[in-house]
Structure 1
Amino acid sequence: IPSSSSHALVGGLVGATVAKAGSGAPIVWEGFGKILAFIIISPLVGVIIGGLLMVLVAWIFRNQSPYQAGKWFKGGQLFAAAAYSLGHGGNDAQKTIGIIWLLLITAGVATKDQSTLPMWVVYSCYFAIAWGTYLGGWRIVKTMGTKITKLNSISGSCASMGGAITLGLATLGGIPVSTTHTITGAIIGVGAATDVKAVRWAITANLLVAWVLTIPASGLIAALFWYIGTKFL
């Protein structure tokens, strides 16, 4: 199940904080509420942009056969995937950096001044997310590429570019969103633009349930590990 690593990270942070501080935990609801809101907003934006790109491509290549149009997207698919990967790192890696920075601040070895953040933290997070992408989770790849809707070079390019644009807009706005949610929304958008029946809505419903459960589940696990840590460390 492709779940959100971003929301798992946020849920873990909040769960550990509440476990330590109790009901009076210093949660900044303005920021946390924004993350919760974009659980709904980011996939919807992905659906809209992905669907619009698919319609635009269909109109541009309306006088060509699918085979002829597909030739243009063999290289375009690599470009779109690269754009999405940059958007992924530009949004996701920053969250991990932020968590480590928070730990350094609480340990007293850094401050809120950005210049006190060691560059080894930045580069290690970039390397880790790039290496994890390279290693790949092929069952996730199969779910995203074949189980939500069948993708080809054209629809895959539109979905990747739709996700890239959505992530780019969120990153420019300083909004931490789920890359999983955005690309899933874009895939649903291109599938629905082709044929609403082409989307496997039952699979989509399972993904939605996983998205809703990610933050509370990770929060509970983080709280559990907090209690274990206080007993044995």
Structure 2
Amino acid sequence: MDFTLLVIIIVLALIFDYINGFHDAANSIATIVATKVLTPFQAVLWAAAFNFAAYFISMYWIGEFKIGNTIAKSVNENFITLEVILAGLIAAIIWNLLTWKLGIPSSSSHTLLGGFMGAALAHAGALSENGVDVINYAKVIPTFLFIFCAPLIGMFIAYLITILIMNICRKVNPHKADKWFKKLQLVSSALFSLGHGGNDAQKVMGIIGAAVICYHMNIGDVAYTALDSSHRFAHFVEDWAWVPFVSFLAIGLGTLSGGWKIVKTMGSKITKVTPLEGVAAETAGAVTLYLTEHMGVPVSTTHTITGSIIGVGITKRISAVRWGVTINLLWAWILTIPVSALIAGIMYYILKMFL
């Protein structure tokens, strides 16, 4: 039964990864489509290629998967069961599909984290009160803080880059500059797509890792039980080397499917974006993602690029940003974790009735 559940979890996690790809495709291609540098199809092909290329950077250059490790350890291992992980995944898929249908650019990473924690809390409540923290706050609190910090960092960096570029290019022929920035957008969107792949594919890896470790611990596998908990994820990566590869591949394939409703919101509804501003926003978003990946903090690529787009918008004037749209997005961000946790808790109790 445990092995069957593990297989179901892995399949669902990769489906979530695929959904994450088309749900978040807009993040890296919205500005490049809005400025007509590439057609929507060319843009998703470009982004998907670099989503997958991020695997080779994480595996062979960085040499570790810090974000995956953070997700896997966001819940105390005493409260992780295969049923908990399954309930969390189902909740995350439901919320992701719902927000995609409504065209709301919510965070795939936060819905995954919310689902995982919500199911674990339901499981802990179903067991008993034993004084042990269900949530690993050392891992989770930085993630909560970066719901607000990531877009602010992106906004600040984008503002600085835009001002810097405008000062450097103030004497350049506008038509000539526009042509150059359209070409540079290919580079900046590629950089952001690398960050998106490296950040988001690892979140699914982390969930699969938690499930695999739980399974091996349940069957008493000495290779896992003999290890300290801090080393089990690294052993999982070595032992199940195909999981990172497939996780990055799935998000790339998902990006190929696109997400046109969200492209429209991100590319035009927040603020009108020029090629220069597209370069600034995507570069700022990429820098933010690389910084947080280095820190091992899972952040939302959606939040990051939204903050970056706002940053370039306010270089013109505060009113250039459509704050009504932005406030609606903020509500979606705030609600994602608690709503996902609630759905996961309900799913956990439903699953326990049948498993």
- TM-score when normalising by structure 2: 0.64
Unaligned ranges ≥5, structure 2? 1-103, 225-231
- Which of 204, 211, 216 aligns to 1:96? It is 204
Show the counterpart of 1:173: 295
Instruction: Name the structure 2 match of 1:73.
Output: 181
Who is 2:227 aligned against? none
Match of residue 122 from structure 2: 19
1:56 maps to which residue? 164
Q: Secondary structure at the match of 2:297?
A: coil
**Within 5 Å, which residues of 2 pair with 1:125-140?**
125-140=247-262
CA shift for structure 1 position 119 = 1.6
Q: Aligned with 1:194: secondary structure?
A: coil
The two structures, once aligned, show a CA RMSD in angstroms of: 1.4
The 8 Å contact of residues 15 and 218 in structure 1, kept in 2 or not, is answered as yes
Give, in whole Å, the separation in 2 of the partners of 1:6 and 1:14.
Answer: 12
Matched residue SS, 1:3: coil
Shift of 1:155: 0.8
Deviations 1:97-156 (A, max 9, x none): 011000001111674151333122111110111111121110111100000001121111
- Opposite residue 114 of structure 1, the aligned amino acid is A
Say whether residues 1:4 and 2:107 are aligned partners: yes
Q: Is the 8 A contact 1:149 1:188 kept in 2?
A: yes
User: Comparing both chains, which one has the higher relative contact order based on Cα–Cα distances under 8 Å and sequence gaps of 6 or more?
Assistant: 1
What amino acid sits opposite 1:67 in the alignment? H
Please tell me whether the aligned partners of residues 53 and 158 of structure 1 are also in contact (alpha carbons under 8 angstroms). yes
Letter paired with 1:37: L
Q: Tell me the SS of whatever aligns to 1:193.
A: coil
CA distance in 1, matches of 2:214, 2:235: 16
Distance 1:128 1:193 in 2: 37
Alpha-carbon displacement from aligned partner over 1:36-85 (angstroms, at most 9, x marks no partner): 11111111000000111111110111012432211111110010000000
The structural deviation recorded for 1:157 is: 1.1
Q: Against the structure 1 CA distance between its residues 113 and 16, is the aligned structure 2 distance closer, same or farther, given a 3 Å change threshold?
A: closer
- Per the alignment, residue 334 of structure 2 pairs with 212
Residue type of the alignment partner of 1:9? L
CA offsets 1:154-209 (integer angstroms, 9 cap, x no match): 11111111100000111111111111111000000001112211100000000000
Amino acid at match of 1:200: R
- Matched residue type, 1:19: A
Query: What is the 5 A alignment of 1:185-224?
Result: 185-224=307-346
Corresponding residue pairs, total: 233
Q: Which amino acid aligns with 1:84?
A: F
Q: Is the Cα–Cα contact under 8 Å of residues 209 and 233 in structure 2 kept in the other structure?
A: no
CA contact (8 A) 1:18 1:25 kept: no
Q: Is it true that 1:114 corresponds to 2:222 in the alignment?
A: no
- Choose 40-49 or 64-73, whichever is displaced more: 64-73
Distance 2:236 2:107 in 1: 29
The 8 Å contact of residues 170 and 176 in structure 1, kept in 2 or not, is answered as: yes
Preserved contact between residue 213 and residue 233 of structure 2 (Cα < 8 Å): no
| CA shift in 2, pair 1:113/1:3, >3 Å | closer
Identity %: 49
Separation (CA, whole Å) in 1 of partners of 2:202 and 2:108: 12
Q: Which SS does the other structure have where 2:315 is aligned?
A: helix
Output the TM-score relative to the length of structure 1: 0.96
1: CA distance, partners of 2:159 / 2:316: 8
- Name segments (4+ residues, structure 1) moved above 6 Å: none
Partners of 1:66 and 1:184 in 2: CA distance: 26
Q: Which range moves more in the overlay, 140-149 or 27-36? A: 27-36
